[in-house]
Structure formats: C-alpha cells, structure tokens
Amino acid sequence: MIETKDLNIDGVLHAAQKQSVDKATPTFVSVTEQITWIDPIHFFQAGQQLQENRIFWSSSDQSTQFVGIGDSILFQNKDASYQMLKKEWEQALNNSWIDNRFDQYKTGPIAFGGFPFDPKEKVNELWNGFEGSQFRVPTFLLTVENDKAFLTTTIYVEEDSHIDELSADLITKRHQLLHAPNTSFQNNTIVLKHEVDPLQWKGLVAKATDTIEREEVNKIVLARELQVEFDDDCDIGQVLTTLKHTQNHSFIFAWEKDNVCFIGATPERLVKVDNQQLFSTCLAGTAPRGTTIEEDKWYGQQLLNDQKNRDEHQFVVDMIKNAVHSCAKYVDIPNEPILYPLKNLQHLYTPVEAELDKGYTLLDVVEKLHPTPALCGFPRESSLAFIREFELLERGWYGAPIGWFDQHFNGGEFAVAIRSALISDMKASLFAGCGVVKESDPDIEYQETNIKFTPPMLQALGGSL
Ligand SMILES: C=C(O[C@H]1C=CC=C(C(=O)O)[C@@H]1O)C(=O)O
Ligand SMILES: [Mg+2]
C-alpha cells in the first residue's frame, strides 16, 4: 500500500491556473510527496504500460536512484549549447509553482539528459532522434534515496487548461505507476553478433600512432561498434536489472526516446556538484582483473608501473586539473593514481575535489571538461580533428556527458556515457574505445576494447564474445 501525505494535486493545479491567468503565461507546476519505498526497476517497467519515454539513473554507490516517466518539458538544442540550456531552464522556472518539503532528497523539478560527443558530428541513421543535447523534466519522477522514496509530479498549466481533466489523468497514471502488478522480465536472447570492421579499426590505431609520431598530437581516443540482434524486442528492464546486480562502482543510466534507448553502466564520473563542492574523476589506463587474488594484484601492479598507461592517464589529470583550477579554489588532486577495480577490468584512477567559485554552476563545469582526454585525446582540437575525419563510428551520445541537474543548478551529476549501447527494438549497437598513445599496439588496444564490451553491456544484453 502506497502512503501519501496530503497530496492535493487538484488544489495545486487550480491555484497554478489562477497564477497563469494573472501573469498571462503558463505555470510550471511541480508537486513532491513522500511515498512508501518502491523498487525503481518495477516502477520503470510500469512506465512501459503508459507508453511514455522513460529514464533511469543510479549513482555509482547506488544510494540515489531516479526513474522518470513522461516528458513534462523537453529542452532540445541542436548546437548543444550549455548556456542556452541554462537560460531555458531559468525561463521555465520563472513562472513556477513548486510544492516540495523534501528538497534535500534530490526531489522536485530535475532535468535529465545528455549531450552529443561532438555537436558538429552529422547525425545519420543510428542516432536519429538524438540530435544535439536533449533534457527532459519527467512528468513523474521517482527518487529513491537510500531507504526513502518520493514522487515528484510535474506539469505545465496553461490559462485555458481543463484542470479537471488534467488532474484526473495525472491521478490515473500515478495509480497505474504505483500499483502496477509485478511483471516478469523477458530474457533477452542474442541471435546475431557483428563487429564493425575490426581490421580497419586496427589499421586506424596504427594510423593514429603514426600521426602521434609525426604531428603535434599526443593521444587520440578511438572507439568502435559491435552490433547485435535479438530474437524479440529487447526488454530494457531486464538489462537494467542485470546491470544493477553486476556492476558495482558504476553509474547506471537509461534514456529512452520513442522506443530507442541509450543505456549503460559507466564507472566514469565527469563531475558532481553539491553546494559548491565539486567532485570529478580522472579515469584512463586499463588492465584486466586476475582470476586469483595473486594474479589480480599482479595485473594491478603492472598497470600502476606501466609507462604507456601512466601516460594515457596523465593527459587526463593535467587537463582536468587545469579546467577545474579555472573555476574553483582548493583543488585537491593526489600526485599518484590508484586502482579502480571493476568486474572484469581495472583502471588507473585519480579523484579530484574542489570548491567551486561563486558564479559557476554545474553546467559551466561540464562545458569546460567535455571532452576530456579520456574520450577525445590531447590536445583537444587535434585529436578531435582526427576522430572527426577518420573514426568509423557515429558516436552520437557515446562518450559524452549524461546526467541530471536540479532547479538550483548547483545540485547534480554528470557521468561520461561509456560502457554503453543504443537499443532499438530487436537491435543494439555497443560502443567501446581506448586511448591511443605513441606506444600503442593495435592488437592490444583491440583486446582492451573487447574486455570493455563484455561486462557490462554485452553480458547484460544476454551475450558473450
Ligand atoms: C573510451 C573508453 O574508456 C576510457 C575510459 C577509461 C579507460 C580508457 C582507456 O584505458 O583507454 C578510456 O580512456 C570506453 O570504455 O569506451
Ligand atoms: Mg587504454
């Protein structure tokens, strides 16, 4: 039984309409209630019955989980302009009616979305529908914060809206979401697997090392695609369940649009801001996990001492350090990386903490950081030019910031959308990349991308290499 405290959606909508009439402009209404704990993936599955777009987000420690159903607002910007997004969000909030006693629990009006890796990349068939940056405030947002659960309902009220109809519709949908019967998941079965041009990709790695030898570029990150087909439509809830149970230390995300879903489990935080405290992550340099404790330690030690991987990592540290210094004081970055263990591989990891200067917001930092040398290379312009000209893949939102921010702009978090896949009905494309530096060997980089495909995504989709 779901308990709610004093939910009076009807009263709020009527009051908001009066405000819309008085100000001669629509009112953005957001009402938050505390509800009895509900399983986020169950709620996500219930959203499918409403045939609305869904989002899922879990912080890497799984302490915060969001599920969004429906779009009450969509901000879409072809040039992926960060400042335009800020402006549009401010405008939406300008005439709002926010009823929220639980602001401290990541509730209320929250926008979720992503940016393209390269706004200048031409969108072809694969990423059709995901042009530019896109953010939405869900109509229904479930926030699960440790053992507490909240539901935020958000809607626009116009001067001439039919409030009784709006209210009845919201109440019906809310009931369907909160009281949906348990659905069983459908196992996803892969019937076809296709690696896109592995030989050509290895050739491209060789071309990148040549370019690094000859030109003013030190690192180029190259990605590739693995395509799969299922025997039936892929059940996204099933994929999320597997990711949640298998991927510790990773952000789990899903952003669905018209039955196409971008989904992943990424270990890489781009930036989190919480009351001017900033947290970022330098993550680059990769080794497998061992099958015994001794072997695992051996791989870890090799990774820490390996110059090629240390170089890959250091480009990221230097760039993030500079970018954060330009908008923050008290920047705290250890001199040496440590190991970041995941299920099947381990990375070199350097955490970054700082206090953001007044006047800067989360989106300003995202704009400064993206793309870091962990996904693009160093220097930025020349590595990006190489990727634009030669990479075989349409990156779309892969390798780009994905995340959320709140109404104050300063609460929110973005991850880098790697270890990810784009699922469309019976098909999916998986993406994996690696940092190429002058010592890179095409076969070894190819192997590295193979282990980045397997868990999380390929395994969560029901397959193996
Ligand atoms: C580009 C990816 O990983 C990046 C993040 C961590 C380690 C990396 C590496 O060692 O090459 C990559 O820079 C990917 O997983 O698709
Ligand atoms: Mg690497």
pLDDT tens, per residue, the chain with 465 residues = 344 444 688 899 999 999 999 999 999 999 999 999 999 999 999 999 899 999 999 999 999 999 999 999 999 999 999 999 999 999 999 999 999 999 888 999 999 999 999 999 988 889 999 999 999 999 999 999 999 999 999 999 999 999 999 999 999 999 999 999 987 788 999 999 999 999 999 999 999 999 999 999 999 999 999 999 999 999 999 999 999 999 889 999 999 999 999 999 999 999 999 999 999 999 999 999 999 999 999 999 999 999 999 999 999 999 999 999 999 989 999 999 999 999 999 999 999 999 999 999 999 999 999 999 999 999 999 999 999 999 999 999 999 999 999 998 779 999 999 999 999 999 999 999 999 999 999 999 999 999 999 888 999 999 876
Cα angle for residues 285, 287, 288 (degrees, 5° grid): 150
Q: CA-to-CA distance for 444 and 235, rounded, in angstroms? A: 33
Give the residue numbers marked as catalytic: 219, 268
How much distance in Å is there from the Cα of 226 to the middle of ligand 2? 18
First to last CA, the chain: 44
In this prediction the ipTM stands at 0.99
**How do residues 69-123 score in pLDDT, each as one tens digit?**
999 999 999 999 999 999 999 999 999 999 999 988 899 999 999 999 999 998 8
Q: Which residues line ligand 1 (CB under 6 A)?
A: 221, 223, 268, 283-286, 312, 347, 374-375, 418-419, 432-435, 452
Q: Which atom of ligand 1 is nearest to the CA of 452?
A: 15
Q: What is the pTM of this model?
A: 0.96
Report how far residue 58's alpha carbon sits from residue 233's, in angstroms, rounded to the nearest whole number: 24
- Give the atom of ligand 1 at the shortest distance from the alpha carbon of 374: 13
Give the atom of ligand 1 at the shortest distance from the alpha carbon of 283.
6
Which residue has its alpha carbon closest to ligand 1 atom 11?
434
3-state secondary structure of 408: coil
Q: Whose CA is nearest to atom 10 of ligand 1?
A: 285
User: In this structure, which ligand is nearest to the CA of 223?
Assistant: 1
Taking each helix axis from N to C end, the angle separating 362-369 and 82-94, rounded to the nearest 10 degrees, works out to 160
Cα of 2 to ligand 1 centre, how many Å?
A: 42
Give the pair of three-digit tokens for residue 401: 């910031």
Q: How far is CA 413 from the centre of its chain?
A: 9
What are the residues facing 223 on neighbouring strands?
A: 433
**Rounded CA separation 132/138 (Å):** 19
The residue whose CA is least distant from atom 2 of ligand 1 is 433
Decide: residue 198, CB within 10 A, 0-12 exposed, 13-18 middle, 19+ buried.
middle
CA of 286 to the centre of ligand 1 (A): 7
For 111, phi and psi rounded to 5 degrees?
Answer: -105, 135
Residue 30 Cα to ligand 1 middle (Å): 39
Pocket test for ligand 1, best of 402, 422, 434 (most atoms within 8 A of CB): 434
**Which domains can be identified in the chain, with CATH numbers?**
9-178 (no CATH), 190-460 (3.60.120.10)
Mean pLDDT over each residue of the chain, to the nearest integer? 95
- Report how far residue 401's alpha carbon sits from residue 31's, in angstroms, rounded to the nearest whole number: 28
Q: Give yes or no for a contact between 419 and 457, defined as CB atoms under 8 angstroms apart.
A: yes
What is the position in ligand 1's atom list of the atom closest to the CA of 398?
A: 16
Residue entry with tokens 């087909």: 229
